[in-house]
Amino acid sequence: MDLKDRAKQQLRDASESVASVLFEQAKKLPFVKDRIAAEYDKMMAELRRAAKPYADEYPRCESLPEQGRSREQVLAQMQAMSDREASRWQEGFVSGAVYHGDPEHRRFLEQAYAIHSQTNPLHSDLWPSVTKYEAEIVAMTADMLGAKQAGPTAEVCGTVSSGGTESILMAMKTYRDRARAEQGNDKPNIVAATSAHAAFDKASQYFGIELRKIPVGDDFRADVKAMKKAVDRHTICLVGSAPCFPHGVIDPIPELAAIAFARNIGFHTDACLGGFVLPWARELGFPITEFDFRVEGVTSISADTHKYGYAAKGTSVLLYRDKALRKHQWFTLTNWPGGIYFSPTFAGSRAGGISAACWAAMQAIGRQGYLDATEAILQTAKQLREGIAAMPDLQVLGDPLWVISFAAADPKSLDVYRVGDAMTKRRWNLNGLHRPSCVHIAVTLRHTQAGVVERFLEDLRASIEEVKRTPAGSGGMAPVYGIAATLPARGAVSDILGMYMDALYEV
C-alpha cells in the first residue's frame, strides 16, 4: 500500500470517527430518534422473519411445561426442524459451516461423543481418558504444524479450546500477561492487518489491549512495511493469517515473523481456517507460503479441529513454541474456600465428549485421509475459481486456494450483495464481506460432490442476469451490507446488529 492509499485510509477512519460521534449526538434529539427508529423497524421486520422461520409453526415455550412432554414428542419436533435445515448443507449449498458432513462420519462422531457424554475435563482425576485425548490432540496437531522442525530449543505445547475465537482470545491474553509480568508493560498493543479475524477485536475489547489495524496491500495480504512501522516498545504481538477469512490469502508470515523475532515480541499465526489444509496442500506440491513453527519467530498458532480437522463443533487447538509462554495462559486460585482451583482455558466445566469425538476423528482420518480430502477440496476450488474468473461481470480477489472471494468487475453497474441475495433465493448460503464489497465461498468436502460446482456456476450466472434486469428491492441482506459499506456512522451498523442479536433471543 502506497502513501496515497494509506492517507485515504486514515482520512476514512477519521471521517467515520467524527460521523459516529455526530450520529450518537443526533440520536438524542426526539425527532431524529423517531425517524431513525422507523427506518430500523422497516429493516428489522425482514431480518426478524428470516431469523424466526418457526415462529408460527410450533408452540412458543416461554416457561417450563407443567408436565414434561414425552421424549418421543420432543425428539420428533427436533428431528423435523433438523430435517428441514439439513438439506442445504448436505447438498453443498453452504459456504463453510459444515466441513465434512458425510453421514457415516457424523454417526461415528456421535458414537464417540455418546461414550463420553458424562465426562468433564475439569475433573481430570475422574476422567483421565479425556485428558489423554486432549494431550494427544495437541501433540498430533503440533506434529502437523512443524513442531519437529521448530529447532532444538523449542518445546511446542498447547491446549484444546472451544473454537477459534477462544484460541485467539487465550493467545492474546497470554501475550498481555507475559508482557505485564516480565516487562511491566501496562499499555500493550497488537499489530494486525485489517483482514485479521474479528476475534482480535474481541480480545482488544475484553482485555484492554490496543489493536493497531494496518490496511492490506493490493494483493489483500498484510503490508509488511506498514506493520513494521506500527510496532513500538509496547507491542506484545504481531498477527498473520493463514489464510485470512475474507479473501482466503496467506499473509507474508516469514517476513512478519522476522520483525517479531528481531524485536523479541510474540508472533501469532491465525491458522484457524487453514491449519488442517495448508500442511497437506504443501505435501501435495501446492505453492504454500510458510506459516507454522518451521518459521523462526512464530511463537503461537491457532488451528481449528472443528473446521477442516473434521471434528465435531466446537474444538480448536492453540499451540505455543514453548512452555514458558504457555504458563501465562493458566488460571490458578489457591486461597478459595471452595478448594484449590485451576483451569487451562476460559471455561471451567467442559463437555469431554466433544474432545473425545475430536480425537476419534483425527485417529480415524489419519494422514492419508487428510491428504485425500485436501486434494479433493483444492481441485474443486480450482474449478470454481476458474469458472468465476471467466464471468465478465465478476473478478476474483487476491490469489486464493480454496476460500474464493469475488466482487463486481464494475461496482457501479452490478451490486454484488444483490447477487448474493439472488443466490440465497436459489438456496445458496454465501458470506457477504465488505471493504471491498464482495462475497466469498469457503469450499468444503460438501462441494466436492458430483454436480455441485456446475450447479453453483450456473446459478451464479443466472443470479447476475437477474440482478442486471431487476430493480433493487428492499429485502435480503443487500441493504444491510450496503449500509455497512457506505455509511460513515458506524454506530448505525452496530445498532442494527445489536437489534438482530436481540431478535435471535426473542421467543
Per-residue pLDDT of 394-416, as tens digits, reads: 999 999 999 999 999 999 999 99
Q: 76: which residues sit within 8 A by CB, 6+ positions away? A: none
- Determine the Cα–Cα distance for residues 130 and 158; give it in Å rounded to an integer: 15
For the cut 60, the answer to whether the pLDDT of residue 5 exceeds it is no
pLDDT interval class at 484 (50, 70, 90):
low
Average pLDDT over residues 269-276: 98
pLDDT at site 487: 54
Q: 190: which residues sit within 8 A by CB, 6+ positions away? A: 172, 175, 200, 203, 204, 209, 210, 211, 212, 235, 236, 237, 238, 239
Strand 189-193 and strand 157-161: pairing?
Answer: unpaired
Instruction: For domain 115-362, give the fold.
Output: Aspartate Aminotransferase; domain 2 (3.40.640)
Hey, CA dihedral for 67, 68, 69, 72, is it positive or negative?
Answer: negative
For the cut 90, the answer to whether the pLDDT of residue 490 exceeds it is no
For the cut 50, the answer to whether the pLDDT of residue 454 exceeds it is yes
pLDDT at site 170: 98
pLDDT interval class at 4 (50, 70, 90):
low
- Determine the Cα–Cα distance for residues 124 and 121; give it in Å rounded to an integer: 5
pLDDT interval class at 497 (50, 70, 90):
confident
pLDDT at site 17: 61
- Determine the Cα–Cα distance for residues 178 and 299; give it in Å rounded to an integer: 13
Give pLDDT tens digits for 437-452: 999 999 999 999 999 9
pLDDT at site 149: 95
DSSP code of 216?
A: B
pLDDT interval class at 1 (50, 70, 90):
very low
For the cut 60, the answer to whether the pLDDT of residue 7 exceeds it is no
Outline where 91-218 has alpha helix (H): 103-115, 128-144, 164-183, 198-207
pLDDT at site 434: 87
Residues in the chain: 507
Distances (CA, A) of 432 to 7, 92, 169: 27, 18, 24
pLDDT at site 15: 57
For the cut 90, the answer to whether the pLDDT of residue 42 exceeds it is no
Q: 449: which residues sit within 8 A by CB, 6+ positions away? A: 91, 92
% of the chain with per-residue pLDDT over 70:
92
Contact yes or no for 268/299 (Cβ under 8 A): yes
pLDDT at site 474: 56
Helix (H, G, I), strand (E, B) or coil at 192: strand
For the cut 80, the answer to whether the pLDDT of residue 29 exceeds it is no
pLDDT interval class at 478 (50, 70, 90):
low
Higher-confidence residue of 29 and 45: namely 45
The reported pTM is 0.90
pLDDT at site 43: 80
Average pLDDT over residues 133-161: 96
Higher-confidence residue of 488 and 415: namely 415
Contact yes or no for 270/298 (Cβ under 8 A): no
Contact yes or no for 356/113 (Cβ under 8 A): yes
